[in-house]
Amino acid sequence: MMDSAATAGPRLPPVTQIGMASLALIVAGAIYLASYLPEQVPLAPAVALLVLSALLLAGNLVALSRVRGFHWRKFFQVGRWALLAYGITAGLIEFAFLRDDVSGGTLVVLTLSIVVYAVHVPVLIAFTVARYD
């Protein structure tokens, strides 16, 4: 049985569920691209997955921004450090792609996918901490 204090507070959008769907699309796109490397990659499926994932990220941010009474101070306090950490890991992944001579459209799609990953994971971490603050 849920405690009434746990149910009190603002009604929150399904940020975690949408975030996980977004990340699943990014992973599917990356696996698709990696399955073709080092050959030429048909980019349309990967671009479609990237666009869907980015739309879910944008929708998640918009839905979360409309929540009144949310613990924004804690969200940004946690989020900035998580963003720093995931920015570093994203940079390392990007470096690996560059070292492996990935270029052209494939590199652009992978880079944008990494950006979505490097933003959405910190949002999920910060949201999880702030919602229980």
> What's the average model confidence in pLDDT over 99-118?
94
pLDDT of 50-81, one tens digit each? 999 999 999 999 999 999 889 999 999 999 99
Instruction: Compute the mean pLDDT over every residue in the chain, rounded to the nearest whole number.
Output: 92
The pLDDT value recorded for residue 8 is 62
Residue 10's pLDDT band, with cuts at 50, 70 and 90, is confident
Any domain includes 3? no
Any domain includes 5? no
Any domain includes 2? no
Residue corresponding to tokens 């999880």: 128
For residues 96 and 49, what is the distance between their CA atoms, to the nearest angstrom?
22
Q: Is the pTM of this model over 0.85?
A: yes
The pLDDT value recorded for residue 53 is 97
Residue 1's pLDDT band, with cuts at 50, 70 and 90, is very low
For residues 75 and 70, what is the distance between their CA atoms, to the nearest angstrom?
9
Any domain includes 43? yes
Range of the domain at 39: 13-131
The pLDDT value recorded for residue 17 is 96
For residues 47 and 67, what is the distance between their CA atoms, to the nearest angstrom?
31
Any domain includes 7? no
Count structural domains, the chain: 1
